[in-house]
Amino acid sequence: MIQIENLTKRYGRVAAVDGVTFSVPAGSVTGFLGPNGAGKSTVMRMLTGLTPPTSGRATVLGKDYRDLVNPGSRVGVMLDASAQHPGRTGREALTLAALTVGVPRTRVDDVLRLVGLTDDEAGRRVRTYSLGMRQRLGLAGAFLGEPEVLVLDEPANGLDPQGIHWMRTLLRDFADRGGAVLLSSHLLHEVQAVADDIVVIGRGRIVAQGSMAELVAGSGSRARSEDDGALAVALEAAGHTATLTPDGVVVDVEPADLGRVALAAGIVVTDLRPHGSQGLEELFLRLTADDSREVAA
């Protein structure tokens, strides 16, 4: 349902997006991951016709977004939940969107119920909304036209744990009924819980893509030791890619191989295991280490 082929966006000599190719089929959720500034939002803006590509093509439902007849009725988009007029009520914002899309006003009540905004909350000015309420309003707008495809940028931002669980169930149900979801999020545990496929982007290029099971299964080992810094240096010297994280050293080898390197270097390992439930987070940290603004202490 979404097809992105060799998509590139340049600003002068800077390539914000460089030759990105991936697809989002019907009945699936694709997690679109990357550090800040990696190019995720630019890809989504090109997909939805807000930014023209320098080269390549992004299509949804077989066409460029701008060529779809009444795209709001077929593609639900939420790129910035704060992009609502602060002086309007939530209901007014949705009613205007309904008139634009051409759906009955009764649909406004349907989506308000869907996202859990009460009549009282819908009657309040958007300027009084919390971040989580703005997110729910943005999701209501995305679902207004009963879409076949969802394109969502950080939809869980500001939601409490119950809200995040609700959103995950909502998106999973949408995909299971045949919809396609492109989901950008920094909440990696939630992405791991809902996504079928993953695309990781760094410095405008795809650094990994595949099914969740494939990527997590191939993510190596994690170890803690009496000197994690020395262990990382020893692993790098042995030709492996090692990354220091708050939970230890992440490396692209099996636990037995990591143990042999530690033994040869005389480093005492206190915890050694394959990637478990945090595999996606550790995979992300390793793949995007060059783009990180943080420096490991």
**DSSP of 146-198:** --SEEEEESTTTT--HHHHHHHHHHHHHHHHTT-EEEEE-S-HHHHHHH-SEE
Give the chain's end-to-end CA distance (angstroms, integer): 44
Look at residue 186 in the predicted model and tell me its pLDDT: 85
Residues 106-129: tens digit of each pLDDT? 999 999 999 999 999 999 999 999
Determine the angle formed by the axes of helices 90-101 and 106-115, rounding to 10 degrees.
130
Residues 138-187: tens digit of each pLDDT? 999 999 998 999 999 999 888 888 999 999 999 999 999 999 999 998 88
Look at residue 293 in the predicted model and tell me its pLDDT: 52
Lowest mean pLDDT across 33-37, 59-63, 90-94 = 33-37
* Residue 276 pLDDT > 90: no
Say if residues 68 and 62 touch (Cβ distance below 8 Å): no
Maximal C-alpha separation, the chain: 71
Q: What percent of the chain has pLDDT over 70?
A: 94
Query: Are β-strands 205-211 and 197-202 bridged in parallel, bridged antiparallel, or unpaired?
Result: antiparallel
Residues 50-60: tens digit of each pLDDT? 999 999 999 99
Count CB-CB contacts under 10 A for residue 37: 14
Per-residue pLDDT band for 241 (boundaries 50, 70, 90) equals confident
Handedness of CA 5, 79, 113, 197 (dihedral sign): positive
Q: In whole angstroms, what is the distance from residue 277 CA to residue 216 CA?
A: 9
Q: In whole angstroms, what is the distance from residue 290 CA to residue 231 CA?
A: 19
CA angle 259, 265, 269 (to 5 degrees): 45
Q: Which CATH superfamily is domain 2-210 in?
A: P-loop containing nucleotide triphosphate hydrolases (3.40.50.300)
Listed by start position, the domains of the chain span: 2-210, 220-274
- The mean pLDDT value of the chain amounts to 90
Residues 208-220: tens digit of each pLDDT? 898 887 777 655 7
Residues 45-87: tens digit of each pLDDT? 999 999 999 999 999 999 999 999 999 999 999 998 888 899 9
CA angle 51, 188, 171 (to 5 degrees): 70
